[in-house]
Amino acid sequence: MAKKLILRVVKIGGNIIDDTRRLDAFLADLAALQGAKILVHGGGKLATRLAEKLGVPQTLIEGRRVTDAETLRIVTMVYGGLVNKQIVAKLYALGCPSIGVCGADGDLLRAHRRQHANIDYGWVGDIDAVNAPLLDRWLGQGLTPVVAPLSHDGAGQLLNTNADTIAQEIAQAMSPAFHVELIYSFEKSGVLLDVNDENSRIASLRPGQYQELKASGVITAGMIPKLDSAFSALKKGVRRVIIGQAEHLAQLVDGTAGTSIVW
Amino acid sequence: MAKKLILRVVKIGGNIIDDTRRLDAFLADLAALQGAKILVHGGGKLATRLAEKLGVPQTLIEGRRVTDAETLRIVTMVYGGLVNKQIVAKLYALGCPSIGVCGADGDLLRAHRRQHANIDYGWVGDIDAVNAPLLDRWLGQGLTPVVAPLSHDGAGQLLNTNADTIAQEIAQAMSPAFHVELIYSFEKSGVLLDVNDENSRIASLRPGQYQELKASGVITAGMIPKLDSAFSALKKGVRRVIIGQAEHLAQLVDGTAGTSIVW
């Protein structure tokens, strides 16, 4: 069997999108990255600011945004339009051909509206299917897909969908065809032994060690969902998950920065 | 040589996009249309309304919107995000697989910022190149491209671009490979002998007749740019241009409504 090609699925968070200088530097690093890649972006603060300007109140339940009809229009404009298209235009300037899409385009991300016993999150989608052959075709044409965090239900409804989850689902769906590395960029330099000390980064983390650190309370609540989803991705065929700062993309990839989550 | 397949390039104007019921009816007709098709949409009034809400003053010079930096952000959100993605989600519900893009995606529409001796239109683009092979590939995959009226300059800058012009340029660029019909939908039932009488529609118009009607003042200022661009498209290989009401898409196509502009 031929050796699988490497595919990197990179998720960038909202905090970097809000900062043009940092975003431009990140995109330059992404464009310089050799090989196949897919970018999944958020856009949180821009959407919040637009909602404020338009007088659309935002409700958060347990840290999650409730997406009413007006908020869905806002995130469709900001994520699917402004952020997505600006990134694509910038990537072309950096010599990186790309295509900006949301989950409705080409039926990329099919989802259903979240059902929750007690909480109505509004127009929020949980993903049922990723159109992996479509991504494969774009990659084969030398295009880097740039994915906005929106899905659709196939019945005409767009749905707001968490960007971390989209990156994870895409990484899993592409694993039969590629050696997939899933890179989560966030504010911290990686998984830290001491949350207040950026130098206490753990270079790599395996399941047994994760259970120990969780049991001893070293890994705290904020990191647990991210790490649970990282290990879950590994179980579903993703080869490596890397968590670290967007400013060090090349180093995250070559293993000299961030925390590598391995099986 | 094999007979060329028919491709319909359909432009819908802003007035229909503002009206959910009419838009839904139009999209149902579009989805029912057999064969290859490309949709180009505007979105004018939604962008104007958002600009009002955000307190961004809009300047029109000779009926054309000046696109300052804030206005470009607004049209990128409204055209590239809200309108484009809603249409794609709705088309899937109608059984019409589609992909929503702007001119930056896949380098679909490469443009330069408009240079004008006396007027600065701001971030407005005039098209230099259409990526016809990309559209051809999507059509070959059974996808209907849905194109938002934005282009890019390849140097990182998005540009606001007239939807009529985009439809014309795409129709021309696809003509070597397809028998292209370009359909402009607007408020009137077609080219009228009497602008106040919807029943005075001319069923078909040829260059000689157009010159006569223009000379005699029957065809008035508002229609002249649209008809000039229609004849110009025919000169560049488009087989037929049809102008008429979006409500009658099937009839525009089969020749029982609208005005067919033929060579």
Picking from A18, A85, A147 by the largest number of B CB atoms within 10 A of its own CB, the best residue to mutate is: A85
Nearest-Cα distance to chain A for B65, in Å, is 19
B25/B152 same-domain check = yes
pLDDT of residue A22: 93
Q: B106 and B53 in one domain?
A: yes
Q: Please give the average per-residue pLDDT across B83-88, as a whole number.
A: 98
CA distance A254 to B22: 54
Query: What whole-number distance in Å separates Cα of residue A232 and Cα of residue A236?
Result: 6
Domain of B116, in residue numbers: 14-163
Percent of chain B with pLDDT over 90: 77
Q: Do residue B190 and residue B153 come from a single domain?
A: no
Q: Would you say A82 and B88 are in contact if contact means Cβ atoms under 8 Å apart? A: no
**For every residue of chain A, which 3-state class applies, written as one string?**
CCCCCEEEEEEECHHHHCCHHHHHHHHHHHHHCCCEEEEEECCHHHHHHHHHHHCCCCCEECCEECECHHHHHHHHHHHHHHHHHHHHHHHHHCCCCEEEECCCHHHCEEEEECCCCCCCCECEEEEEEECHHHHHHHHHCCCEEEECCEEECCCCCEEECCHHHHHHHHHHHHCCCCEEEEEEEECCCCCECCCCCHHHECCEECHHHHHHHHHCCCCCHHHHHHHHHHHHHHHCCCCEEEEEEHHHHHHHHHCCCCEEECC
pTM: 0.96
Residues B183, B130 share a domain: no
Are A77 and B73 within 8 A, CB to CB?
Answer: no
**How many residues are recorded in chain A?**
263
Instruction: Evaluate whether residue B78 is within a structural domain.
Output: yes
Does the pLDDT at position B68 exceed 80? Answer: yes
pLDDT per residue, tens digit, chain A (263 aa), is 568 999 999 999 878 888 899 999 999 999 999 999 999 998 778 999 999 999 999 988 876 779 999 999 999 999 999 999 999 999 999 999 999 999 999 999 999 999 888 888 999 999 999 999 999 999 999 999 999 999 999 999 999 999 999 999 999 999 999 999 999 998 889 998 888 888 899 999 999 999 999 899 888 777 888 899 899 999 999 999 999 999 999 999 999 999 999 88
What is the predicted pLDDT for the residue at A220? Answer: 76
| B76 min Cα distance to partner chain A (Å) | 5
Which DSSP helix (H) or strand (E) runs through B196? none
Calculate how close chain B gets to A85, using CA atoms only, in Å: 7
Distance CA B25, CA B248 (A): 10
Q: How confident is the model at residue B117 (pLDDT cuts 50, 70, 90)?
A: confident
Number of neighbouring beta carbons within 10 Å of residue B107: 20
Q: Which residue, of B163, B194, B229, is where some domain finishes?
A: B163
Nearest to A152 among B73, B77, B89 (CB): B89
Do the domain assignments include residue B139? yes
User: What pLDDT is recorded for position A1?
Assistant: 54
Residue B30 has pLDDT above 60, yes or no: yes
- Does pLDDT of B35 surpass 90? yes
Q: Give me the half-sphere count of Cα atoms (radius 13 Å) on the Cβ side of residue A75.
A: 28
B147 and B226 in a single domain? The answer is no
Q: Output the domain CATH number for residue A78.
A: 3.40.1160.10
Q: Which pLDDT score, from 0 to 100, does residue B1 have?
A: 54
Measuring CA to CA, which residue among B29, B96, B148 is closest to residue A156? B96
Distance of CA B190 to CAs A21, B7, B163, B258, Å?
50, 21, 18, 4
Query: Which residue among A82, A99, A154 places its CB closest to the CB of B92?
Result: A154
Look at residue B221 and tell me whether its pLDDT is greater than 80: no
Q: Which of B41, B92, B144 to mutate to test the interface with A (most CBs of A within 10 A)?
A: B92
Q: Where are the strands (E) in B148-220, listed by range? A: 150-152, 158-160, 179-186, 204-205
- Tell me, what's the pLDDT at A2? 65
Q: Are residues B154 and B188 in the same domain?
A: no
Structural contact between residues A237 and A176, judged by C-beta atoms closer than 8 angstroms:
yes
Q: Which residue has the tokens 């020749």?
A: B255
Residues A241, A234 contacting (CB under 8 angstroms): yes
Q: Tell me how far apart the alpha carbons of residues B244 and B259 are, in angstroms, rounded to a whole number.
A: 6
Q: Distance between terminal CA atoms of chain A?
A: 22
- In a domain? residue A140: yes
Per-residue confidence (pLDDT) for residue A13, from 0 to 100? 83
Specify whether B152 is located in the same domain as B198: no
B114 assigned to some structural domain: yes
The partner residue sitting opposite B106, judged by closest CB among A79, A99, A152, is A99
Q: Cβ distance B123 to B158 under 8 Å? A: yes
Choose, out of A17, A39, A77, the residue to mutate when testing the contact with B (most B CBs < 10 Å).
Answer: A77
Q: What angle do CA A72, A80, B26 make, to 5 degrees?
A: 75
Q: Is residue B170 part of a domain?
A: no
Q: What is the pLDDT of residue A62?
A: 74
Q: Which helix (H) or strand (E) covers residue B148, if one does?
A: none
In a domain, A186, yes or no: yes
Q: Is the pLDDT of residue B239 over 70?
A: yes
B143 contacts B98 by C-beta, under 8 angstroms: yes
Task: Give every CB contact of residue A217 below 8 A, 6+ residues apart in sequence.
Answer: none
B154 and B40, same domain (yes or no): yes
Q: How many CB atoms lie within 10 A of CB B155?
A: 11
Q: What is the pLDDT of residue A45?
A: 86
pLDDT of residue A222: 74
- B151 and B69 in a common domain: yes
CA distance B158 to B72: 8
- What Å distances lie between residue B27 and A119, A192, B24, B37, B90, CA to CA? 34, 52, 5, 12, 8
pLDDT at B144 over 70: yes
Per cent of chain B over pLDDT 70 is: 98
B229: its two tokens? 């661009």
Residues B197 and B242 in one domain: yes
Instruction: Spell out which residues of chain B touch residue A56, defining contact as CB-CB under 8 Å.
Output: none
Q: Which of B50, B94, B105 to mutate to test the interface with A (most CBs of A within 10 A)?
A: B105
Confidence class for position B5, pLDDT limits 50, 70, 90? very high
CB-based contact B67:B75 (threshold 8 Å)? yes
In a domain, A1, yes or no: no
Of A85, A143, A157, the CB nearest to B102: A85
Contact: A84, B85; criterion CB under 8 Å: no
Tell me the C-alpha distance between B162 and B160, whole Å.
7
H or E element, residue B253: helix B249-254
Given an 8 Å threshold on Cβ–Cβ distance, is B78 in contact with A82? no
Query: Do residues B74 and B152 share a domain?
Result: yes
* Domain count of the fold of chain A: 1
Domain boundary among B110, B132, B163: B163
Say yes or no: ipTM exceeds 0.85. yes
pLDDT confidence of B254, banded at 50, 70, 90?
very high
Please give the mean pLDDT across all residues of chain B. 93
- pLDDT, residue B225, reads 83
Coil, strand, or helix at residue B123? coil
Angle at the Cα of B165 (from B159 to B167), degrees rounded to 5? 105
| Residues of B engaging A, defined by a Cβ cutoff of 8 Å | 53-54, 73, 76-82, 84-86, 88-90, 92-94, 97-102, 104-107, 137, 141, 143, 150, 152, 154-158
Nearest to A93 among B53, B101, B154 (CB): B154
Classify residue B174: in a domain, yes or no.
no
- At B26 the three-state DSSP class reads helix
The answer to whether the CB atoms of A76 and B82 lie below 8 A apart is: yes
**B81 vs B61 pLDDT, higher one:** B81
Whether residue B43 sits in one domain with residue B135: yes
pLDDT at B2: 65
Which 8-state DSSP code applies to residue B80? I
DSSP class of residue B67? B
Distance CA A160, CA A77 (A): 12
Q: Kindly state the tokens that stand for B94.
A: 């109608």
